[in-house]
Amino acid sequence: MLSLRSVLVASSCLVACSSFSAADAPAVPDVPVGQGDAGAGASDDASDQVVGAPVGCDPMEEPQKSPACVVDPYGIFVDPTNGDDTKPGTRALPVKTLTIALSKLKGRSRVYVCEGVLSERVRLAPAASLFGGFACGTWAYTGGRARFVPLEGGPALTVDGVGQPTTISDLEFVAPRGTDAASSSIAAFLSASASVTFRRVTLTAQSAARAANGLAVAPGTLVSSTPIPGNFNATKLGQVCTCSIGAVTAGGDGGLFLANAVTRVGKDGAPAQAVVTPPGADGLGVDQFLDAHRARTRLPPERMVLARTISST
């Protein structure tokens, strides 16, 4: 089980595969929604009453250990294959999508999801615990995970501003590959949520979008050369060449030996310019905000991959 009891914001790049299993944290009871939070799952009806645990249901236990909790008055039911979003979301008449289920909570604190694939992004705000692992129809616990594989870009799972204990179990979230419109691939984004517990959840991010190619630079041409090429150079001075893009290079002076004169040892050639113009003419990387020219030709934004695969146990 992975328990997050501090703010987690997906703001860094993890480009290598990651896999970890955290130790179980103490169980926490579900706290029903409808107590001041806003967002998906909140009701506009001020008369909605918080639904308490039914007889025989132990909110401290996982649903498979307390099947009396898996009943209509205590949760909304989602069947990705045979559900119907026009139905009430009961065991006998489940809805098809989690988005609709969250809109029907009306004081309930749980959503039960049976096996299947859902092509939607999940956003939890306020608190609503999500429990997968159920067989469709019978709602018996099998441990088979429902998979959320959204088609649109953005985090597959977002938990934002949830200040009450929330549990997510037996589910899988797969972020789409990055595109030009949504360059990053982010499996989960958690923010301002103090107590979120993951049990047997897999979070998978895929490849981010490829960065755009850099600007092509035309090869420079020789503008001037001193001494004049082809002329006899009695002093054996190194040739100094100026390129059309501003670069200047100097050949090394040749060795010299004359009667009644000081012997001179040959020198290495060397660049003679202090600043390369334009930036990048020397083939080296340039800072994207160093000057006006570089700002106009700045590099593409960073692409993000928030973990390849993370699994909780």
Lowest mean pLDDT among 20-34, 40-54, 198-212, 278-292: 20-34
Token pair listed for 174: 């797969």
The length of the chain, given as a count of residues: 313
Token pair listed for 95: 């809805």
Per-residue confidence band for 233, with pLDDT thresholds at 50, 70 and 90: low
pLDDT digits (tens, 9 = 90+) for 147-170: 999 998 889 999 988 888 899 999
**CB-based contact 228:241 (threshold 8 Å):** no
Token pair listed for 245: 């893009």
**Are residues 129 and 211 both part of a single domain?**
yes
**Are residues 266 and 309 both part of a single domain?**
no
Beta-carbon count within 10 A of 162 CB: 23
pLDDT of residue 307: 52
b/e code 259-278 from CB counts within 10 Å (16+ = b): eeeeeeeeeeeeeeeeebee
Site of tokens 């660049």: 271
Is residue 45 pLDDT above 90, yes or no?
no
**Are residues 86 and 196 both part of a single domain?**
yes
More confident residue, 118 or 211: 118
pLDDT of residue 251: 75
**Are residues 141 and 243 both part of a single domain?**
no
Separation between Cα atoms, residue 197 and residue 55, nearest integer Å: 25
pLDDT of residue 232: 64
List Cβ neighbours of 86 (8 Å cut-off, separation of 6 or more).
none
Q: 69 by DSSP, 3-state: which?
A: helix
**Are residues 131 and 242 both part of a single domain?**
no
Domain that holds residue 269: 220-296
| pTM of the predicted model as reported, rounded to 2 decimal places | 0.61
Number of structural domains (the chain) is 2
**Are residues 56 and 204 both part of a single domain?**
yes
**Are residues 2 and 52 both part of a single domain?**
yes
- Helix spans in the chain (H): 98-103, 292-296
Phi-psi region for residue 59, left (φ > 0), alpha (ψ -120 to 50) or beta? Answer: alpha
Beta-carbon count within 10 A of 173 CB: 25
pLDDT of residue 180: 81
**CB-based contact 42:34 (threshold 8 Å):** yes
**Are residues 245 and 122 both part of a single domain?**
no
More confident residue, 288 or 75: 75
